[in-house]
Amino acid sequence: MPVDNIQLSDITTLGKKNIIPSSVLVEVCYECNEKCVHCCLDDHTKPGLTLEQYDDLFDQMVEAGTFYIILTGGEPFVRPDFMEIVKSARKRRLSVTIFTNATLLDDEKIIALRALCIDEVHVSMYSADATIHDNITRVEGSFYKSMAAIKKMLAVGITVRLKCPLMNMTADGIVGIKNLAKELGVDIQYSTVITARNDGSLETHQCRLTSAQLQALLSDPDVVKQGTEPIYFRGNMDCIPCDTVFNGGAVDPEGNVYVCNQLRVIGGNILTQSFGQIWKESRAFQKLREIRLRDLKECTDCDLFQHCTRCPGLAFLEDGDILGCSSVAKVLAEARKKVGVYPTEAHIFSRPIT
Amino acid sequence: MDCYVAKGINVSCRTIDGEAFIFDQNTRLLLKLDEVGSFIWDQINGTKTIGQTAKICCKTFPDDNEEDILLSVQEFINDLHDKNIVVFSDAPFEGVMISAC
């Protein structure tokens, strides 16, 4: 009875091959106690499904082969029953990561999270400067509340990661946030793209990095891992634009199922169909899975192709064509070309299923 | 002495196409079991002893030598115990993590 040590990527590869939603993001509410200037949500009123409905959803995810879930909001801890939702997921042996601003975490919740052996807690931190952070959240004192919770979580042994979407008003403080993470002993997950809101409105774009800031950050290997050589995907027109359509999954607070929370194509609703059935049988999802590099006519002829990390979801949301050029990806690709760096293979197009 | 065996509270797992994937949240060790190991893993629910689990294996794999199966199951579960993947008890387990898994 051999026991093999494997990598987490082996599970997602298996998911890709067998169309299993290995890693699913679950938005348990859109309500939030912060009012972040760059937030992608257009509606903060949706309270989420009931605890019993989440019990049922997690059962269906187990049946469908889901291994990890991300629980997020809005701010998930605004739900008085959120700890019960976490417990429900862990009871079913799902590996749980939580995205939160951590401001509502108290000692009792932190100890309970540790006891439930959750995987990681990702905390949104925008700057090491409390004033700048609070200006983004538009809640005075939020920086110190988040920091206090991070320190308490680390003290009890919870793995914490900082989520840091970079904006024009925070980019100059990149050294500060790096130092903050170093002092805390945690990793940072940066993002260089501020997306449109889910309804397609673009006012969040005013937070985006300037071209000069973007080029400076793309030169920083701590912020974005870059390749020095291009990946020659163009030679294989069967490449897949995004693996998430095969092995991802997202559920919004009303029970709508997406392949990814960024790709706003609804496959069905878990209140009327099972999660597994939607994942496998939704015609909308099947059509997304049929898309190959050859279908992206603008990309195959584009001289920025080797520098590009196009997200189909953003192309659809911001530019209205899932097969067309993504304007934000183009800006990033132009910056990479100027800096002379390339995306790594993990960034975008992946090999065909074999 | 025979004892009851349960999956550790630190474990996340899923069986896909007859293969069990086990993730230890504390050590971040990820394991994949083969077909027989996965069958045994699926039997571990806190309500069976190692001996009872081995007997179920004997019924499922009748062509194999019973004594060999008993020894292999014992060895396999002890190995998982050494890796802190399973826990032992003199009495059946109860609790939030045990019932569903």
- From the list A7, A18, A95, which residue is nearest B12 (CB)? A95
| pLDDT digit string, tens, across residues A301-316 | 899 998 998 999 999 9
Higher pLDDT, A300 or A108: A108
pLDDT in tens, chain B (101 residues): 689 999 999 999 998 888 899 999 999 899 999 999 999 999 999 999 999 999 999 999 887 788 888 999 999 999 999 999 999 999 998 764 543 34
Residues of B in contact with A88 (CB under 8 A): none
Worst-scoring range by mean pLDDT, A225-234, A288-297, A318-327, B44-53? A225-234
**Given this model, what pLDDT does residue B63 score?**
79
pTM over 0.80: yes
When pLDDT is cut at 50, 70 and 90, the band that residue A6 belongs to is: confident
Interface with chain B: mutation pick from A93, A121, A187, highest number of B CBs within 10 Å:
A93
CB contact under 8 A, B25 and A118: yes
CB contact under 8 A, B30 and A5: yes
pLDDT surpassing 80 at residue A1: no
Q: Is B65 on the interface with A (CB under 8 A)?
A: no
When pLDDT is cut at 50, 70 and 90, the band that residue A343 belongs to is: confident
Q: Is B46 on the interface with A (CB under 8 A)?
A: no
**Given this model, what pLDDT does residue A203 score?**
92
pLDDT surpassing 80 at residue A272: yes
When pLDDT is cut at 50, 70 and 90, the band that residue A39 belongs to is: very high
User: Three-class SS of residue B79?
Assistant: helix
In percent, how much of chain A has pLDDT > 70?
98
Mean per-residue pLDDT over chain A, rounded: 93
- Complex ipTM: 0.88
What's phi and psi for B22, nearest 5 deg?
Answer: -125, 125
Q: Residue A224 has which token pair?
A: 């974005």
User: Chain A: nearest CA to B94, how far in angstroms?
Assistant: 12
pLDDT surpassing 60 at residue A246: yes
Establish, for the pair of chains A and B, how many residue pairs have beta carbons separated by less than 8 Å: 81
Residues of B in contact with A96 (CB under 8 A): 12
- Average pLDDT of the segment spanning A150-177: 96
In angstroms, the Cα distances linking A16 to A71, A78, A196 are 22, 34, 28
Q: Which has the closest alpha carbon to A242: A322, A336, A325, A327?
A: A322
In angstroms, rounded to a whole number, what is the distance separating the alpha carbons of residues A185 and A178?
10
Q: Are A24 and A66 a contacting pair, CB within 8 Å?
A: yes
pLDDT surpassing 70 at residue A275: yes
Please count the CA atoms within 13 angstroms of the CA of A350 that sit on its side-chain side: 16
| pLDDT digit string, tens, across residues A256-266 | 999 999 999 99
- Average pLDDT of the segment spanning A88-113: 97
Give the number of other Cβ atoms within 10 Å of residue A203's Cβ.
Answer: 10
In terms of CA atoms, which chain B residue is nearest residue A67? Answer: B14
- Average pLDDT of the segment spanning A285-294: 95
Overall size of chain A counted in residues: 354
Residues of A in contact with B34 (CB under 8 A): 1-2, 4
pLDDT surpassing 90 at residue A331: yes
CB contact under 8 A, A90 and B97: yes
Bond from prior residue into A74 cis (ω within 30 degrees of 0): yes
Q: Would you state the torsion angle of the CA atoms of residues A198, A204, A210, A214, taken in this order, to the nearest 10 degrees? A: -40
When pLDDT is cut at 50, 70 and 90, the band that residue A83 belongs to is: very high
> What DSSP string describes B19-43?
EEEEEETTT--EEEE-HHHHHHHHH
Worst-scoring range by mean pLDDT, A272-276, A327-331, B4-8, B16-20? B16-20
Q: Map tokens 């069958």 to a residue.
A: B39
pLDDT surpassing 60 at residue A72: yes
Q: Are A49 and A82 a contacting pair, CB within 8 Å?
A: no
